[in-house]
Structures are given as C-alpha cells and as structure tokens.
Structure 1
C-alpha cells in the first residue's frame, strides 16, 4: 500500500484519538495522556499508539490499563470520525522519549553549571 496514505491515516487517527481522549473518555484511571505517535501497519489492520503519560509509575500503569480496557470504545469513536472501511486494532505503548529527553536536558544543564563554576574560580 502507498506509504503516504498509510502515514496520512496514522496522522488522522492520531488527531482524532487525541480529541477523543481529551473530551470523551470518562475512565478515572486514565490521567493526563498525550498521543505522541501512531504507526499503522501496511495492511491497516494494526495501529501502534504511542502515548506519553504524566504521573508516577503506578499512574502510568493504571492509565495504560485503562486505555487498553477502553480499546473497543475508542475504535468505535474513531470509526465514526474517520472514513475507513476497517478501523485498525489499537496497541497502546508507553512513549518514554520525552522522559529520556528531559533526562538528557538535566544532564546538560548540570554540565553547563559546572562549567560556569569552573570559569568563575
């Protein structure tokens, strides 16, 4: 299948899924969730949804469990909003790239403050 179509379908699912999670999902387990990326398989049967979840490790696990439990509802809502013959099955994965980036940023900040201290002495 055409790669541009697959990427467009992924972007559309990402946009609509973000809106549904923001406004429509009432599960108390699901906290502050951001959809960072959606990778759709070439046959449009499976979509890996990468989410960033704000909170502790327990809150992340609970939110991921809530998302997995609400998979059917989310597919139904996406089916109403996106014109596709078949809505892909969602697999939710935790995106830790934001945590990794903030860790690197804090290390760089430490290095720069140490460099400034050495310059002063």
Structure 2
C-alpha cells in the first residue's frame, strides 16, 4: 500500500469510527471522546486507533475499556461502510494530548490569576 493510499485509509477509518463511536450506547463511554488518529499497518491487518477523552483518569480508563470490548462490533460495522480489501483489527490507545493541553491551560490561568492578585496586593499596600 503506497503512502498516499495509506493516509486515505487512515483518515476514512478515523472519520467513520468517530461517527460509529457516537452511536454506541455503552454507559462507560465518555461523551467527550474523539478519535484523534488511526495508523493502519501495511498489510491492513491492524489499526492503532488513538482516542482522546477529556475527563478524569477513571473516565479515560472506562472509555478505553468500552471501546476495546466493542472493537469486533465496530470492525464489522466499519466493513459495511468502507470498501477495503481487508478490514484491520482495531486496537485502542489513549491520546492524552488534548487533556494535557486542557491541564496546561488551567495551570496557566491559575498562575496568571495568582500573579494578578500578587500585583494588586503590592500596589494596594
């Protein structure tokens, strides 16, 4: 599989999986779940699916558990939506970049707020 075709396959699976995951009714799934990337290997046997879950560590773990238990069903539904020589097995991994970014934003906001208070206290004395 050439690199351009591989990119199209990755993107197509990512897009379709995103909508399939939204349709799942597992209570363990966080509503703040998104498929951030998909990496299909050359022989189309495996797809590493990276998902981002905004929330607590427990919510991330629960969501990954729910996705892993639904992997076979998701693969079957994908095969009905995508015409591909061989539908890869899906393995789900946590992508913490969005959560890390959100945590960094909170940290920056807190530091700026503390600095503002410190300067206000200094100016007021």
Counterparts of 1:1-121 in structure 2, within 5 Å, are 1-23=1-23, 25-32=24-31, 33-113=33-113, 121=123
Say how many residue pairs are matched: 120
- Judging changes above 3 Å, is the alpha-carbon distance between structure 1 residues 115 and 29 closer, same or farther for their aligned structure 2 residues? closer
TM normalised by structure 1 equals 0.85
TM normalised by structure 2 equals 0.83
Cα-to-partner distance string for 1:83-113 (whole Å, 9 max, x where unaligned): 0121111110011001111222233334544
Larger radius of gyration: 2
Q: CA deviation at 1:66?
A: 1.1
Cα-to-partner distance string for 1:27-70 (whole Å, 9 max, x where unaligned): 22222221111111122211111111233222221211111011
Cα-to-partner distance string for 1:64-85 (whole Å, 9 max, x where unaligned): 1111011110000000000012
Helix, strand or coil: the match of 2:39? strand
Gaps of 5+ in 2: none
The root-mean-square deviation of aligned C-alpha atoms, in Å, is 1.9
- Judging changes above 3 Å, is the alpha-carbon distance between structure 1 residues 109 and 50 closer, same or farther for their aligned structure 2 residues? same
- Judging changes above 3 Å, is the alpha-carbon distance between structure 1 residues 31 and 114 closer, same or farther for their aligned structure 2 residues? closer
Equivalent pair of 2:55/2:99 in contact (CA under 8 Å):
no
Helix, strand or coil: the match of 1:49? strand
Give the whole-Å Cα distance in 1 for the aligned partners of 2:107 and 2:59.
25
